[in-house]
Structure 1
Amino acid sequence: MKQFALLLALPLVLAGCGTSAYMPNVPNVPMFTKKGELSAGGHVTPKGNITFNTAYAVSDHFGVLLNGSMLSSERRKRDLRHNLLEAAGGYFTTFGPEDNRILEIYAGFGGGSSERTEKEENKETGVMTYERYDANFSKYFLQVNFTSKRKKSLRLLNREFPLNYGTALRASYLNMHDYAVNNVPGELEDNIFLEPIFYTRLTLNPSVQLQYTSGTTIGLKNRDTLTAAYSVFAVGFVINVGGREKKN
């Protein structure tokens, strides 16, 4: 129990303080097993970036995803707004001695916007100065999910809560198509991000799971604005209906 509580507290300790036009969303990991399965989830980071994920299994091996994230934050030194919407489709399958492992491969695209205002107060005069950064970008990504449904559990309050573990490896290409600093056009940038992300799900009931997500972002190009300034640390809930029952 103490170890699990420590995991939940890590986002508050490890949240970064960098700045970038790109703030990664929590990957969509529906853990599909068969046709007709539906998944929906919501996650929040310590910075207040909220991710909504939905997914549907169109057939026994093909699923579609729709993801969105948003952030609106006003602080003494910085105001920040960030929006992202993306869609994807791909292949999933189960394997292992009891079909208790899931592999998913998705490719998708989307777009987003970022608005950042840096505020600085002159200590002598009290006059505030502002710098505003506005960016719009497109995103293309390839994502591979691996999840284990092996029988592990956490004993809490005299109850057993099953645990699932998994990894999402996401490669994203982002390309600015509009960028301005104080309404003056700036240099457009692109970048490739590698995002290894790990998650743990605690099953509250057959349909609802609590998810803890942690990961990092690696930028392959040296950029000033599209940088790997943010990592993924989030807590949320995932709802899955219509899935295959675990074998005893």
Structure 2
Amino acid sequence: MKHLPLLALFLVVTGLSSCSSLYFPPPPHVPLLTQQGEIYGSLSTNLQGNTALQGAYGLTNHLGAAATFSSMHRKKSRKTENIDFGEASLGYFTKISDNRVLEVYVGGGGGSTERIERNSEQVVTDRFNGSLSKVFTQVNYARKKKDNIRLFNHDFPLTYGAALRMSYVQLNDFRINGLAAPGENNLFFEPITFTRTQIAGPVQLQFLSGQMFGFRNNKYLKAANSVFQVGVIVNIGDGFLSQ
């Protein structure tokens, strides 16, 4: 675990150079629930403009529910991308010790994707659009650092960890320039690392970075987009970071 900061930096650098795909993954949810009635909310974004709203709730002392909605709408001189995606999951969570927590989630989701390509004269040359469906399983592990970060005469509690997500994604109702085209599917493996610090009260700041690996060599549904998010978290209840 001591090498997580270096791994996170490497993943961020590699992610910035990635090319585009018709699937841009929502960031893995890492609510780190510890008890019944705990509420988690997060709003995050990245350099590609992929904004995600996430929430989770502790249904019991070990069963939680989580949901994510992400949206990316960006226009460049040669390309426009529009991707909206939502997913929901149920999971088991437990504290391994006073400073460690483990979560396991299974879920699914769906959304829409569109890419419009133009030439140098800004004339549309190709249009790709379709729907997306997904099922996934995810494991989260986090550890609360024993020593806080001290800045400006204040102590900031720190948590860092990792998540492993395996997703099966399908591209359905696929059309190229208005004509029906064969869909694609892929199996993605997403290892991510994250660091979270408590700013004030229930408000926390989180940095999350990772990469995608696809098991199929597709043309449109491929592991070409990395995961990198910076966000603000609100945790209502006696959450893991404050314990």
For 1:246 and 1:118, locate their aligned partners in 2 and report how far apart those are by CA, in whole Å: 45
Partner of 2:183 in structure 1?
188
- What secondary structure does 1:152 align onto? coil
TM normalised by structure 1 equals 0.89
1:178 and 2:173 equivalent? Answer: yes
Partner of 1:100 in structure 2?
99
Which structure has the bigger radius of gyration? 1
One-letter code aligned to 2:61: D
One-letter code aligned to 1:135: G
1:44-83 matched pairs, under 5 angstroms: 44-83=45-84
Range with greater deviation from structure 2 (16-25 or 38-47)? 16-25
1:213 and 2:214 equivalent? Answer: no
Q: Give the % identical residues.
A: 37
Alpha carbons of 1:48 and 1:11: their partners in 2 closer, same or farther (altered >3 Å)? farther
RMSD: 2.1
For 1:47 and 1:202, locate their aligned partners in 2 and report how far apart those are by CA, in whole Å: 24
Range with greater deviation from structure 2 (210-219 or 24-33)? 24-33
Contact 1:63 1:89 in 2 (8 A): yes
One-letter code aligned to 1:243: D
Partner of 2:109 in structure 1?
110
For 2:35 and 2:122, locate their aligned partners in 1 and report how far apart those are by CA, in whole Å: 61
Q: Give the length in aligned residue pairs.
A: 236
- What secondary structure does 1:204 align onto? strand
Gaps of 5+ in 1: none
1:25 and 2:20 equivalent? Answer: no
For 1:53 and 1:178, locate their aligned partners in 2 and report how far apart those are by CA, in whole Å: 27
The CA deviation at 1:247 is 8.9
Alpha carbons of 1:57 and 1:161: their partners in 2 closer, same or farther (altered >3 Å)? same
1:89-168 matched pairs, under 5 angstroms: 89-96=90-97, 99-121=98-120, 126=121, 128-168=123-163
Contact 1:152 1:164 in 2 (8 A): no
Alpha carbons of 1:127 and 1:106: their partners in 2 closer, same or farther (altered >3 Å)? closer
The CA deviation at 1:150 is 3.1
The structure 1 segments of at least 4 consecutive aligned residues displaced by more than 4 Å after TM superposition are 10-14, 244-248
The CA deviation at 1:152 is 3.0
One-letter code aligned to 2:22: A
Gaps of 5+ in 2: none
For 1:240 and 1:81, locate their aligned partners in 2 and report how far apart those are by CA, in whole Å: 30
The CA deviation at 1:187 is 1.5
1:203 paired residue among 180, 183, 198: 198
One-letter code aligned to 1:113: S
Partner of 2:238 in structure 1?
243
The CA deviation at 1:148 is 0.7
TM normalised by structure 2 equals 0.91
